[in-house]
């Protein structure tokens, strides 16, 4: 296979890679995504951050709601962080939302509300890595800056038969070199969208549509019948399982008690139900922390939630209380909210799921 790899590398990459890819894009590329019309650095930036670890179809409604509420960098920069987090609730990876807010404030304060155009400068902003910087620079400003997201890594790893897990530093460096070598000098915005689209719709992780691929004739993985083996997968470790109880304190006037998590750690700065270890006594916890005497505690529902490094199994327990019998709770980190109004809060996803179920089953 060495001679074939040398052939691909030595010949004109524009002829074998970028030209057929752009021709394919002109016919089959995605041109109706909401961040493309109108296209601006702000809209590209928001979409690229949302698309990290998240599928396009999931992102679209979140993007539309976000842009409706924050149509430009000024409105975003001036908004309270809680408002930003509330709109992000459900997308996960909440550090993205906090970094978006920080970056908006920096651009508003230090850059005169104008985005830097070069990837080298964009990368200095919170939450903007090399690939996101390249996406903004190429798509918003037409610069030759090569994106390297998951879709692009997969296309390049297969096309050039690159061995090794793509997140390994040397492999990633090799893929970055290839990404830049393949990028044409013209139509940079279209090319960036084209290679992302190819990975998302044709050169997919499972069951790639090689018969429809414009790069099939010179793709080394296809020629070697090795497509299913590239990119090389990371050896997976079993994620441990943790167990917790969530306490759903529900008052007779249809208020629920929520606590705001600290700005660091799990679900930082999000509103959550009070929680404790699965083997702790909830009655003792309620007495010690809230002054509840002999509370009525019922099993409500169970939820499984996965993080990148562990699985969390949650047993939600319902604690019903009459308004007149509710102890006065010192509202330092926690607060009573009307159940119907909790949808506007920045909630951790398991808490949102539990409250949504309570809305359906109001007693």
User: Is the domain of 195 the same as that of 221?
Assistant: yes
Look at residue 6 in the predicted model and tell me its pLDDT. Answer: 47
Does some domain include residue 124?
yes
Mean pLDDT by runs of 10 across the 363 residues of the chain is: 46 86 97 94 97 93 98 98 92 92 98 96 97 97 96 98 95 96 96 97 96 96 96 89 96 93 87 95 90 89 92 96 69 84 92 94 70
Q: Give the domain-ending residue among 229, 253, 285.
A: 229
Query: Which CATH number belongs to the domain containing residue 125 in this structure?
Result: 1.10.340.30
User: Is the domain of 186 the same as that of 267?
Assistant: no
Query: Which CATH number belongs to the domain containing residue 266 in this structure?
Result: 3.90.79.10
Confirm if 201 and 210 have CB atoms less than 8 A apart.
Answer: no
Does some domain include residue 236?
no
Q: Give the domain-ending residue among 229, 263, 288.
A: 229
**211: Cβ contacts below 8 Å, ≥ 6 apart:** none
Q: Residue 8 and residue 178: Cα distance in Å, rounded?
A: 11
Does some domain include residue 235?
no
Q: Residue 217 and residue 210: Cα distance in Å, rounded?
A: 10
User: Is the domain of 142 the same as that of 26?
Assistant: yes
Domain ranges, residue 136: 2-229
Residues in the chain: 363
User: Is the domain of 192 the same as that of 278?
Assistant: no
- Picking from 61, 112, 110, the residue whose alpha carbon sits closest to that of residue 87 is 61
Look at residue 363 in the predicted model and tell me its pLDDT. Answer: 53
User: Is the domain of 31 the same as that of 128?
Assistant: yes
Q: Give the domain-ending residue among 182, 202, 229.
A: 229
Look at residue 4 in the predicted model and tell me its pLDDT. Answer: 46
User: Is the domain of 157 the same as that of 217?
Assistant: yes
Does some domain include residue 251?
yes
User: Is the domain of 224 the same as that of 246?
Assistant: no
User: Is the domain of 221 the same as that of 246?
Assistant: no
User: Is the domain of 20 the same as that of 136?
Assistant: yes
User: Is the domain of 139 the same as that of 282?
Assistant: no
Look at residue 151 in the predicted model and tell me its pLDDT. Answer: 96
188-226: per-residue pLDDT in tens?
A: 999 999 999 999 999 999 999 999 999 999 999 999 999
- CA distances from residue 114 to 99, 104, 140, 182, 356 in whole angstroms, order as listed: 17, 10, 12, 29, 40
User: Is the domain of 267 the same as that of 327?
Assistant: yes
Look at residue 331 in the predicted model and tell me its pLDDT. Answer: 62
Does some domain include residue 234?
no
Does some domain include residue 176?
yes
- Domain total in the chain: 2
- Picking from 106, 108, 56, 62, the residue whose alpha carbon sits closest to that of residue 84 is 62
User: Which residues are known to be catalytic?
Assistant: 48
Does some domain include residue 106?
yes
User: Is the domain of 22 the same as that of 64?
Assistant: yes
Look at residue 92 in the predicted model and tell me its pLDDT. Answer: 85
Look at residue 11 in the predicted model and tell me its pLDDT. Answer: 54
């Amino acid at each position: 296979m060495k001679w074939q790899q040398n052939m691909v590398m030595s010949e004109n990459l524009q002829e074998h890679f970028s030209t057929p890819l752009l021709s394919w894009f002109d016919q089959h590329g995605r041109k109706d995504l909401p961040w493309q019309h109108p296209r601006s650095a702000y809209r590209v930036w928001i979409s690229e951050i949302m698309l990290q670890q998240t599928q396009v179809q999931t992102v679209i409604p979140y993007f539309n709601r976000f842009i409706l509420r924050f149509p430009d960098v000024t409105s975003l920069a001036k908004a309270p962080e809680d408002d930003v987090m509330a709109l992000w609730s459900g997308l996960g990876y909440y550090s993205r939302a906090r970094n978006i807010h920080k970056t908006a404030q920096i651009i508003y304060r230090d850059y005169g509300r104008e985005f830097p155009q070069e990837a080298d400068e964009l990368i200095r902003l919170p939450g903007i890595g090399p690939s996101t910087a390249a996406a903004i620079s190429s798509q918003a400003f037409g610069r030759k800056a090569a994106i390297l997201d998951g879709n692009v890594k997969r296309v390049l790893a297969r096309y050039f038969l690159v061995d090794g897990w793509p997140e390994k530093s040397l492999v990633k460096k090799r893929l970055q070199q290839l990404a830049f070598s393949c990028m044409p000098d013209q139509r940079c915005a279209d090319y960036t969208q084209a290679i992302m689209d190819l990975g998302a719709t044709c050169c997919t992780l499972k069951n790639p549509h090689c018969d429809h691929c414009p790069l099939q004739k010179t793709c080394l993985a296809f020629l070697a019948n090795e497509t299913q083996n590239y990119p090389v997968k990371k050896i997976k470790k079993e994620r441990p399982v943790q167990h917790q109880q969530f306490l759903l304190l529900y008052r007779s006037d249809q208020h629920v008690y929520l606590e705001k998590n600290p700005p660091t750690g799990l679900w930082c700065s999000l509103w959550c139900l009070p929680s404790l270890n699965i083997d702790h006594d909830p009655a003792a916890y309620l007495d010690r922390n809230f002054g509840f005497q002999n509370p009525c505690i019922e099993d409500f529902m169970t939820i499984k939630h996965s993080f990148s490094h562990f699985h969390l199994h949650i047993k939600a327990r319902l604690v019903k209380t009459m308004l007149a019998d509710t102890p006065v709770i010192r509202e330092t980190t926690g607060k009573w909210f009307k159940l119907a109004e909790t949808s506007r809060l920045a909630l951790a996803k398991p808490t949102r799921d539990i409250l949504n179920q309570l809305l359906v089953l109001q007693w």
